[in-house]
Amino acid sequence: MKYVLLLVLLYTVVPAHAQQDCKLNINVLVVEKHTGQPLFPVVVHIDELNATYETNEKGRVELGSICPGKYNFHFHSDGYEHYAEQVTITSSTELKFKLSHIEGVLDEVTIADAREQTLLQAKDGMDSKQIAANSGKSLGDMLQAVNGVTVISNGATIAKPVIHGMHSNRIVMLNNGVRQEDQQWGGEHAPNIDPFLANSLEVIKGAASVKYGTDAIGGVILVEPAPLRATQGTDAELNLAGLSNNRMGVASAMVNHNFKKLTPLSIRLQGTYKKGGNYRIPGYWVANTGVEENNYSAAAAWRKQHYGAEVFYSHFNTNLGVYRGSHTGNEADKLAAVNSDTPLVPADFTYELKRPRQHVEHDLGKAKMYLESSLGTWHATYAYQQNFRQEYDVQRVETDRAQLNLTLNTQTFNLNLEHRQIWKLKGEAGFDGIYQENFIQNGDRVFLPNYRSKGAAAYLIERYRAHDWTFEGGLRYDYRWYEAFNPEGSKQQVVRYEYHFNNLSGTFGATKKLSDKWQLSTILSNAWRAPQANELFSAGLHQGAARIELGNKNLQPERSYNLNIESKNTLGKKLSTEISLYTQYIQNYVYLEPGADLLTISGYFKTFNYQQTNAQLSGTDLSAMYNWNAYLKSNFMASFLFARNVTAHDWVILMPADRLSLSTTYTRDISPGLKECYISADAKFVFHQWRIPANFDQVDFPRPPAGYFLADVSVGTTLEAGKQPLYMSLTVMNLFNQKYRDYLDAFRYFINQPGTNVVLRVRVPVSFNNKKSS
Amino acid sequence: MKKIVSIVCSMLIMSVILTACKKTPIDNPQPVQQELITTIRLNVTNSSGFNKSFNYKVLNGFNSSEPGIKLVEDVELLPATEYNVEVTVLNEADTPAQNITDEIISENTEHLFLHQSLPETGAGSIAFSDGNKDDNGAPFNRTVKFTTGAAGDGTLIVTLKHQPTNKNANTPDEAGGETDAQAIFPIYLK
């Protein structure tokens, strides 16, 4: 807190003479080399700004608030040579770039901008700046900055993203272009991805099966690393973070290199280490909630003009504790814990992890090749993933053994052709294959059956772009086969089950530019999801919830039909707004219905059966950005969700409450060595969730917690010592040490959410002179 | 076109190789019920030569959609009499049945037996005393003295708690921790 005051004083004492430096306006014009015709759409990527733009119909991009310096521009456009140029900018100017046409070449989105073209779907995300400002958080927690995304959590250590009320196996995560398969079906199974890998996070809200395959009912999260170096030399970046609440330290480093003697080859090495102890809620330590994580990854790419290949390998390894008091022996134990105002398990601070705890390792290996031919650009991607998950339960007898050793092996293959423009149609077609095995070790806890799954799919997506209209349509056919081996009865005889699912999904969207400042999109999309092994076969105690969940072998696939209308509007220089309205009808929506109480030797448990109904989830995400002046900016976000069980004419249980947030940032350069100093205040208000089903009290106790208000403040600056920048920031989360509980937190029965957390972050990018290049 | 074919083929071969060389037998999973308890047995003796066992047993319950099968023996004792009671804990789902009591004794600092009588006093009640202690001298109560009240009917609840937060508790709620097993015996004092 002292530091905050000190910095605030600095702001008021230091005469702020505004820097004229970073006020340059650059007009970029891109034309055809021979005819001089303006080109649109051209993707313009600027390395130093780490930003991607698209030219308008006049072939222009306007860049404001640019600092003098050297910039590497990359240009991609359908049917034109990929073009890169380094430009030194000293004053406001117009820059003209000429692209030459080549026969039979499509945009190779792979080379400089890692962002694949996605559907015209409601998209939102976080850029590298926002990711850096949230470093040290888990991926799930980080994504809460995106409007319409919330989390389902187990205290402060396990957080999973929820998009428009859907999570776990209704969301697909793409880690570096590969479907992450990490047993994401469990509420306490956080995504096994290192957020430091990400240069951008993109969230596609709403059904998106056509491009991303099955399960993408709620949406898709794309974790995209920065592209590998395209120019010679070496660069590196070091990220450090310290968090006061659980005394956590985080260090992450990345090195990129492009060889001088072997220009097509670029490599990257990256690693992260993170360790934290018990976290603190107002007044108490929370027993056994430490976390340790170490991750590393390596990537290499070989890129020639018209073909290339890349390999990527990442390893994720985490150990995390689960609050001892969240595991209760029966319904009566749970009620006693719920009715206690204080945590029933006392604790001090420690880094030590005891049972119950989890250990997860996720390995991902990927090989990708691309090739430009007369038809278009071909991509072939093969990936192998292994997820190994161990759960250490509380045991009567001392043992080193984990009570659950789950292994999930997944192989995925994708072949994709982005065909060259035919008439005014541009698009892609492809084939997807998946093979998966999930199995336990003999002697493990009875949990869910071993299963095998195979799937194949073919898809086609076409885009038609006219003057101010863009239309897009897509179709996909999926086939999925499952076999499961379920031990049943008192003799635990293995019974084999076989399932076949096949589905057609589609999407259609249109975007109209009503003016330069106003764009309107409408998207109809569809997705499906096959029931998962846990929904079909569960027959055991869910320890974290002290309840017994019973699978249903007759579940049908879920199908979702999604309509999304989005308006993006810039009103003058000061205000811009985004309004998104969505409604999604889900046929055969799988949910848990309370059943009879079950007597065991430990006493009574509530039981829940997997059932299906039809549901309709509708809502809106609103955001507005207002620039008060050159330095002061405000950003307002609101999201509302109405989730109805259509069949029962009732609300759907366990849906995120409505929320509002407002953040205001003041940014100013103070001196040449002290740039982009900012101070920001964020306020978030989450409403009480009153939309609960009529039978709520039979299902759950207590009722959803009260609404809450949270305030965060943050100060940060860029220090420039010579040519070496250093970014640092200090953030105070939950400034007022607010006691609150969140409806989607599994620990809400037992304990409050974390108290104040002071986070210090330092980021040092290092650029080496290329003389030492090998 | 040749390049494309070669790329796709090489990938296909790679995936086949990887699939072929990682063969795990997954069609015969053999999970086990962890540390299963099925039975709480009271061995009741007294100086007058009384010697009987009473069982409370629940089979199933977990890992099946069928409700547990409960077998309870009525506890018939004389009113206003002292008895020495020893609790044993068994897993009778395995053959031969496993006696888990020794395990619990070896972990006695982490466990607590609780005895409750309904009604607490008067006809059909039982008073408890002289519960044995754990290695730290805190209550463990695996062996305990019953003093029966006046003639009548009542209920006896025996609870085994794991990692209780309060070793001096008299009720499961006060004790905290996790319920490992709970037996509810009908009591007939006549």
User: What distance in Å separates the CA atoms of residue A287 and residue A322, rounded to the nearest whole number?
Assistant: 8
- On the question of pLDDT at A759 being above 80, the answer is yes
**Three-state secondary structure readout of A268-284:** EEEEEEEEECCCEECCE
A681 touches chain B (CB under 8 A): no
Measured between beta carbons, the chain A residues lying within 8 angstroms of B31 are 440, 442-447, 487, 492
The DSSP letter of residue A573 is T
Residue A293, amino acid: E
Chain mean pLDDT for chain A: 88
User: What distance in Å separates the CA atoms of residue A705 and residue A575, rounded to the nearest whole number?
Assistant: 35
Residue A2 pLDDT class (50, 70, 90 cuts) = very low
Q: Are A11 and A676 in contact (CB under 8 A)?
A: no
Structure tokens at A654: 């366990």
At residue A102, the pLDDT reads 61
- On the question of pLDDT at B178 being above 70, the answer is yes
Give CA torsion, residues A339, A342, A343, A347, to 10 deg. -160
- On the question of pLDDT at A111 being above 60, the answer is no
How many CB pairs lie under 8 A apart between chains A and B?
165
Q: Are A222 and A114 in contact (CB under 8 A)?
A: no
Residue A16 pLDDT class (50, 70, 90 cuts) = very low
At residue A577, the pLDDT reads 95
Instruction: Provide the shortest C-alpha distance from residue B44 to chain A (in Å).
Output: 21
Please tell me which of the candidates A329, A371, A490 has its beta carbon nearest to residue B3: A371
A539 with B65: Cβ contact below 8 A: yes
At residue A103, the pLDDT reads 46
Across residues A310-322, what is the average pLDDT? 96
Chain B contacts in chain A segment 486-515 (CB below 8 A)? 487, 489-490, 492, 494, 496
B104 with A396: Cβ contact below 8 A: yes
Nearest CA in chain A to B179: A329
A650 touches chain B (CB under 8 A): no
Q: Are A625 and A634 in contact (CB under 8 A)?
A: yes
Please tell me which of the candidates A378, A394, A599 has its beta carbon nearest to residue B178: A394
How do residues A687-730 score in pLDDT, each as one tens digit? 999 999 999 998 888 999 999 999 999 999 999 888 889 999 99
Across residues B170-185, what is the average pLDDT? 93
Among the ranges given (A160-174, B5-19, B99-113), the one the predictor scored with the smallest mean pLDDT: B5-19
B107 touches chain A (CB under 8 A): yes
Residue A736 pLDDT class (50, 70, 90 cuts) = very high
At residue A1, the pLDDT reads 46
Chain A contacts in chain B segment 131-170 (CB below 8 A)? 161-163, 165
At residue A76, the pLDDT reads 80
- On the question of pLDDT at A8 being above 70, the answer is no
A611 touches chain B (CB under 8 A): no
- What percent of chain A is modeled with pLDDT above 90? 62
Residue A222 pLDDT class (50, 70, 90 cuts) = very high
Helix (H) or strand (E) holding A308: strand A307-321
At residue A224, the pLDDT reads 92
How do residues A255-290 score in pLDDT, each as one tens digit? 999 998 888 999 999 999 999 999 999 999 999 999
- On the question of pLDDT at A83 being above 90, the answer is no
Cβ neighbours around A66 below 10 Å, total: 19
A382 with B14: Cβ contact below 8 A: yes
Structure tokens at A246: 């659980």
Which range among A19-33, A93-107, A254-268 has the greatest average pLDDT? A254-268
Residue A773 pLDDT class (50, 70, 90 cuts) = very low
Structure tokens at A60: 């222009």
Please tell me which of the candidates A378, A490, A550 has its beta carbon nearest to residue B65: A550
User: What distance in Å separates the CA atoms of residue A108 and residue A465, rounded to the nearest whole number?
Assistant: 18
Q: Give which of B23, B27, B170 to mutate to test A binding, by max A Cβ within 10 Å.
A: B27
Q: Are A379 and A368 in contact (CB under 8 A)?
A: yes
Closest CA to A174 of A216, A135, A142, A111: A216
Residue A105 pLDDT class (50, 70, 90 cuts) = very low
At residue A733, the pLDDT reads 97
Please tell me which of the candidates A345, A439, A596 has its beta carbon nearest to residue B29: A439
Instruction: Provide the shortest C-alpha distance from residue A561 to chain B (in Å).
Output: 33
Measured between beta carbons, the chain A residues lying within 8 angstroms of B28 are 485, 494
At residue B19, the pLDDT reads 58
Across residues A645-661, what is the average pLDDT? 96
A600 touches chain B (CB under 8 A): yes
B67 touches chain A (CB under 8 A): yes
Measured between beta carbons, the chain B residues lying within 8 angstroms of A444 are 31-32
Closest CA to A171 of A153, A191, A157, A188: A191
Instruction: Provide the shortest C-alpha distance from residue B81 to chain A (in Å).
Output: 29
Please tell me which of the candidates A396, A409, A487 has its beta carbon nearest to residue B22: A409
- On the question of pLDDT at A200 being above 80, the answer is yes
Helices within chain B (DSSP H only): 2-21, 101-106, 172-175
DSSP helix, strand, coil percent of chain A (3-state; round to 5) = 10, 55, 35
- On the question of pLDDT at A118 being above 80, the answer is no
Q: Are A169 and A184 in contact (CB under 8 A)?
A: yes
Among the ranges given (A95-104, A540-549, A571-580, B95-104), the one the predictor scored with the smallest mean pLDDT: A95-104
User: What distance in Å separates the CA atoms of residue A279 and residue A323, rounded to the nearest whole number?
Assistant: 10
How do residues A386-432 score in pLDDT, each as one tens digit? 999 999 999 888 889 999 999 999 999 999 999 988 888 889 999 99
How do residues A605-615 score in pLDDT, each as one tens digit? 888 999 999 99
Instruction: Provide the shortest C-alpha distance from residue B143 to chain A (in Å).
Output: 19
User: What distance in Å separates the CA atoms of residue A629 and residue B102, rounded to the nearest whole number?
Assistant: 75
User: What distance in Å separates the CA atoms of residue A170 and residue A617, rounded to the nearest whole number?
Assistant: 13
DSSP bridge partners of B99: B90
B24 with A437: Cβ contact below 8 A: yes
- Rg (C-alpha) for chain B, rounded Å, is 26
Please tell me which of the candidates A384, A393, A403 has its beta carbon nearest to residue B18: A384
At residue A379, the pLDDT reads 93
Which range among A126-135, A645-654, B14-23 has the greatest average pLDDT? A645-654
A409 touches chain B (CB under 8 A): yes
Chain mean position to CA A638: 19
At residue A465, the pLDDT reads 82
Helix (H) or strand (E) holding A123: strand A123-126
Closest CA to A137 of A164, A150, A156, A163: A156
Residue A539 pLDDT class (50, 70, 90 cuts) = confident
At residue A13, the pLDDT reads 39
B34 with A494: Cβ contact below 8 A: no
At residue A85, the pLDDT reads 83
Q: Are A143 and A161 in contact (CB under 8 A)?
A: yes
User: What distance in Å separates the CA atoms of residue A40 and residue A46, rounded to the nearest whole number?
Assistant: 17
Measured between beta carbons, the chain B residues lying within 8 angstroms of A449 are 29
Burial environment of residue A23 by CB neighbours within 10 A (0 to 12, 13 to 18, 19 or more): middle
How do residues A467-510 score in pLDDT, each as one tens digit? 788 899 999 999 999 999 998 877 788 999 999 999 999 999 99
Please tell me which of the candidates A380, A492, A600 has its beta carbon nearest to residue B61: A600
- On the question of pLDDT at A681 being above 90, the answer is yes
Structure tokens at A332: 């009566």
Measured between beta carbons, the chain B residues lying within 8 angstroms of A487 are 29-31
User: What distance in Å separates the CA atoms of residue A628 and residue A642, rounded to the nearest whole number?
Assistant: 33
At residue A109, the pLDDT reads 33
3-state DSSP call for residue B175?
helix
Pick A618 or A29 by higher pLDDT.
Answer: A618
Among the ranges given (A70-79, A506-515, A614-623), the one the predictor scored with the smallest mean pLDDT: A70-79
B15 touches chain A (CB under 8 A): yes
Residue B67 pLDDT class (50, 70, 90 cuts) = low
How do residues A342-358 score in pLDDT, each as one tens digit? 898 989 999 999 999 99
CA angle A392, A395, A401 (to 5 degrees): 45
Q: Give which of B4, B41, B72 to mutate to test A binding, by max A Cβ within 10 Å.
A: B4
A396 with B173: Cβ contact below 8 A: no
Closest CA to A677 of A735, A711, A719: A719
Please tell me which of the candidates A344, A345, A599 has its beta carbon nearest to residue B67: A599
Closest CA to A165 of A743, A769, A592: A743
B58 touches chain A (CB under 8 A): yes
